Amino acid sequence: MSLDLSYLGIVATKAVYRNLPVSVLTEKAVARGEGTLSNTGALVVKTGKYTGRSANDKFIVDTPAVHDEIAWGKVNRPIEKEKYDAILAKVKAYLQNREIFVFDGFAGADPQYTKGFRIINELASQNLFIHQLLIRPTAEQLEGFTPDFTIIAAPGFKCIPEIDGVRSEAAILVNYEEKMVVICGSQYAGEIKKSVFSVMNYILPKQGVFPMHCSANIGKDGDSAVFFGLSGTGKTTLSADPNRKLIGDDEHGWADNSVFNFEGGCYAKCINLSAEKEPDIYNAIKFGALVENVVMDPETREFDFDDDSLAENSRVGYPVDYIPNAELSGMATSAPKTVIFLTADAYGVLPPISKLDKNQAMYYFVSGFTSKLAGTEIGITEPVPTFSTCFGEPFLPLDPSVYANMLAEKVEKSGANVYLVNTGWNGTGKRMKLAYTRAMITAALNGTLENSEFVTDPIFGVSVPTTCEGVPSELMIPINTWEDKAAYEAKAKELAKSFVENFKKYTHMSDEVVAAGPKA
């Protein structure tokens, strides 16, 4: 199916293909030399210089219509409309005499809040990716499709910083007023996915929907739960529960009567992937999946998931129906009853699970804490506290208080319980066993944790259960795992101080929320 893109100023193209089937997109990507097939049938590509999001190359077009809404700063950098217009004109010229691949699809599984996205790709492989990641339209929906937002991805176009007024050859330019995103220079497919997410984080709060960087699942009785957490905290692993259906693994909306997936697919990490530890992801790497930067034997076409020579952030994108226990509607028809904040505390001082009141929930949500570990980055020799606002700082165009207040309102209205879960370390020097964390989360989900006696942590102020079925009692209270109690107190106060210092930048938070934080 072809499409006339002249209304966008994209003219004189070799061909425009609209919503091609997965088989045809895969064929074209191979024929054009964009990638090769693995022994499982997945399309495998190398994204070159950019193997992850280029956060410093993202800009928001500063126009009078949006200027006062955006939380400008190191994440939301402004670019003048004149510079944006000049780059967009060059990209349109660059696309002349090329094959163009268009995917028209949706974000937001709840029909009341669904948004139409038109994705225009230079590469068939990237079009395959977004075909699998967004919600795919029916033939009838496609016939009457009108985009709410358009994304143009032209990785082959390289910016010239000194001429174009950007930082490097790559640029991600978001124009909220004109409902357009332009992606240049980077072939990393996650830039397209996260551009959709950034748009939803701007649009949905205006409709009373709380957008979340979280995974979500649903129990047999229809009770849903959401899991917030930064990379390495277990967000994907812990939401994949054999006794519950997966709604989605990354991006959701919380409306008054639903929690719904923004996407129709998953974008999972591949490093150290194994069939034993994560069988669902492992088995999803088949025909129709797009694999980025995983080393593959050129003869046998077998993957080596442990080889990070191309990228540590190797990835696979696939439709959610490749997961056997998925909720294919992409939504639960009631608000979440349980909210989980996941953190991996390398200091060993946060409780393995604790319950938060409303103000504490806002405080720890806005803080978005986890730890960078020694050896993960050059120069890191001991744990470093890491804070990502609302567990998704790079994708939030509005002030953090907007999202925090929405969390509080939704929790209050639904009566959800909020828990902080530490999947990291304790005083034994060992990381909490996955089986223990699962037992605590199960107890939180089914309500049995509420039968425990709770005590207040003297430094962090949270309510800590003293017992949980399936978990040794001595692990429940952090200080009990430390031989040197004075050392525990020193480390706990050190982490508390980091929280307090980090929170000073949030100038729009109430005194009650500020007071709900740790006591340094």
What is the SS3 assignment for 378-427? CCCCCCEEEECHHHCHHHCCCCHHHHHHHHHHHHHHHCCEEEEEECCECC
Catalytic position from the list 244, 315, 337, 410 = 315
Residue-level pLDDT, tens digit, the chain, 520 residues: 679 999 999 999 999 999 999 999 999 999 999 999 999 999 999 999 999 999 999 999 999 999 999 999 999 999 999 999 999 999 999 999 999 999 999 999 999 999 999 999 999 999 999 999 999 999 999 999 999 999 999 999 999 999 999 999 999 999 999 999 999 999 999 999 999 999 999 999 999 999 999 999 999 999 999 999 987 788 888 998 889 999 999 999 999 999 999 999 999 999 999 999 889 999 999 999 999 999 999 999 999 999 999 998 999 999 999 999 999 999 999 999 999 999 999 899 999 999 999 999 999 999 999 987 544 344 444 567 899 999 999 999 999 999 999 999 999 999 999 999 999 999 998 899 999 999 999 999 999 999 999 999 999 999 999 999 999 999 999 999 999 999 999 999 999 999 999 999 999 999 999 999 998 7
Active-site hit among 57, 241, 250, 457: 250
Separation of alpha carbons 136 and 318, rounded Å: 12
Q: Is the dihedral of CA 24, 25, 27, 31 positive or negative?
A: positive
**5 vs 150: CA distance, rounded Å:** 11
**3-state DSSP call for residue 134?**
coil
81 is catalytic: no
User: Which residue, chain included where needed, has tokens 């980090």?
Assistant: 502
β-bridge partners, 338? 225, 417
* Spatial CB neighbours of 302, under 8 Å, sequence gap ≥ 6: 38, 39, 296
- State yes or no: is 92 an active-site residue: no
- Number of other residues whose CB lies within 10 A of the CB of residue 49: 12
Residue 485, both tokens:
């109690």
Angstrom distance (rounded) from CA 502 to CA 474: 31
Side-chain-side CA neighbours of residue 365 (13 Å)? 30
Number of neighbours of residue 519 by Cβ within 10 angstroms: 15
Dihedral angle computed from the Cα positions of residues 220, 226, 231 and 237, in that order, rounded to the nearest 10 degrees: -10
SS3 state at 194: helix
How many other β-carbons are positioned within 10 Å of the β-carbon of residue 201? 24
- The yes or no reply on domain 337-515 and CATH 3.90.228.20 is yes
Kindly give, in sequence order, each residue whose CB lies less than 8 Å from that of residue 271, ignoring residues fewer than 6 positions away.
305, 306, 308, 312, 313, 314
How far CA 500 is from CA of 221, 388, 509, in Å, comes to 40, 14, 13
DSSP secondary structure letter of residue 98: S
Q: Specify whether the CB–CB gap between 391 and 362 falls below 8 A.
A: no
Which two tokens mark 66? Answer: 């949006």
Distance in angstroms (rounded) separating the CA atoms of residues 63 and 48: 33
Of 290, 305, 314, 197, the residue nearest 249 (C-alpha) = 197
Q: Is 280 helix (H, G, I), strand (E, B) or coil?
A: helix
- Chain-centroid distance, C-alpha 497: 28
3-state secondary structure of 8: helix
Give me the amino acid identity at 206. K
Predicted local confidence at residue 429, as pLDDT: 87
> Contact, 383 vs 347, CB < 8 A?
yes
Question: Is 236 a residue of the active site?
Answer: yes
14 among known catalytic residues: no
> Which of 18, 28, 53, 245 is flagged as catalytic?
53
Q: Per the structure block, which two tokens stand in for 65?
A: 């219509």
To the query of whether residue 213 is one of the catalytic residues in this protein, the response is yes
Consecutive H or E run containing 258: strand 258-261
Question: Catalytic residue among 2, 6, 23, 231, which?
Answer: 231
- Which of 92, 131, 213, 491 is the catalytic position? 213
Strand order in the sheet with 36-37: 36-37, 43-45, 290-292, 315-319, 265-269
The pLDDT value recorded for residue 375 is 40
- CATH superfamily ID and name for 6-32+56-207: Phosphoenolpyruvate Carboxykinase, domain 1 (3.40.449.10)
Amino acid, res. 15: A
Domain ranges of the chain: 6-32+56-207, 337-515
The closest of 87, 118, 152 to 3, measured between CA atoms, is 118
Give the pairing of strands 295-296 and 303-304: antiparallel
What is the pLDDT, as a whole number, of residue 320?
Answer: 94
Dihedral sign from CA coordinates of 161, 164, 165, 167: negative
Identical fold for domains 6-32+56-207 and 337-515, yes or no, is no
Based on the residue annotation, tell me whether 315 is a catalytic residue of this protein. Answer: yes
Q: How far apart are CA 60 and CA 385, in angstroms?
A: 28
Q: Which of 18, 136, 194, 244 is catalytic?
A: 194
* 141 closest CA partner among 165, 115, 163: 115
250 is catalytic: yes
Residue 385 confidence (pLDDT):
84
- What does the chain come to in residues? 520
Q: Is 457 an annotated catalytic residue?
A: no
Rounded to two decimals, what is the model's pTM?
0.94
